[in-house]
Amino acid sequence: MVSLRDRWREPGCLIVPGVYDALGAVFAEAAGFPALYLSGASISYSRLGQGDIGLYSVDDVLGVLAAITDRVRLPVIADGDTGFGNALNTQRTVRQYERAGAAAIQLEDQVMPKRCGHLQGKQVIPTSEMVGKLKAALDSRDQMLVIARTDAIAVEGVEAALERAERYVEAGADILFVEAPRTKAELGRVAERFATRVPLLANMVEGGSTPMTPVADLAAMGYRLAIFPGGFARAVAFTARAYFASLAEHGTTEPFRDRMLDFQGLAAALGTPELLERGKRYAGEQA
């Protein structure tokens, strides 16, 4: 498996899709993406049927993360929210994520319980507290990368967010994530200040605060990673609504069949025949 660090050394900006389970990870890997983003918001959507307002736990993430890293070979960036507590909680979270196979953990400076970076009403902790969390994370990790995210644009403005980001880079963050710039000009300001000093991550959220920007344009600004954390969940939700409406109306799935994989198609996509064949090697002789 090529490491995430090696990936971002390649030219351009990496496209990193968000997933929330091993099934999505299988299809993302098959599509040829270089890495995956395990979205906390999408875990809340899929496991709890709730919005991203800090209701899911570290254990919810760890179970999904372990299933994904067991199934695919791609490096996984895992959403670590606030570290699920103070600096000491953050250290424990870092160790747990690394044991579960994460290539990187994203940590943010919101007050716990946090909320989606593109919702209103966020609050942020003092800069010094976040610096302490980042140092604690870096002290406890082995090889896993640490991504520092600031949500301060919506709370304190762009200048304050840039100053926070400066402190996080000084603390040793491997990757910088300034959440929710509101214009392409603000995306550019972040890149002008940091792109030559630390790998930058941009967050593309359909209908969110940041304008959807082509990855080629992000690369030209200097961004090295572009995550699309909730796109898969929103696509599945759109399809699910149509599927259930069709089944309720027609009493059969036949009108929807051209938008589905059938039994054999899904089995083939998941490698079920190969898995069964491999299992024969361990079946032993039959009496």
Residue 122 vs residue 104, higher pLDDT: 104
- The model's pLDDT over 64-102, given as tens digits with 9 standing for 90+, comes to 999 999 999 999 999 999 999 999 999 999 999 999 999
Domain range annotation of the chain: 4-230, 237-280
CATH 3.30.420.240 fits 4-230, yes or no: no
Query: pLDDT per residue over 259-280, tens digit each?
Result: 999 999 999 999 999 999 999 9
- Confirm whether pTM is higher than 0.85: yes
pLDDT tops 60 at residue 117? no
Q: What does the pLDDT look like over 155-184, one tens digit per residue?
A: 999 999 999 999 999 999 999 999 989 999
Please give the average per-residue pLDDT across 50-54, as a whole number: 82
Report which of 171, 279, 229 is spatially closest to residue 41, judged by C-alpha positions. 229
- 219-242: per-residue pLDDT in tens? 999 999 999 999 999 999 999 999
Binned at pLDDT 50, 70 and 90, residue 284 comes out as confident
Among residues 18, 33, 15, 38, the alpha carbon closest in space to that of 224 is found at: 15
Buried b (16+ CB within 10 A) or exposed e, 168-186: bbebebbbbbbbbbeeeeb
Query: What is the band of 115 on the pLDDT scale with cuts at 50, 70, 90?
Result: low
Work out the pLDDT band at 4, boundaries 50, 70, 90. confident
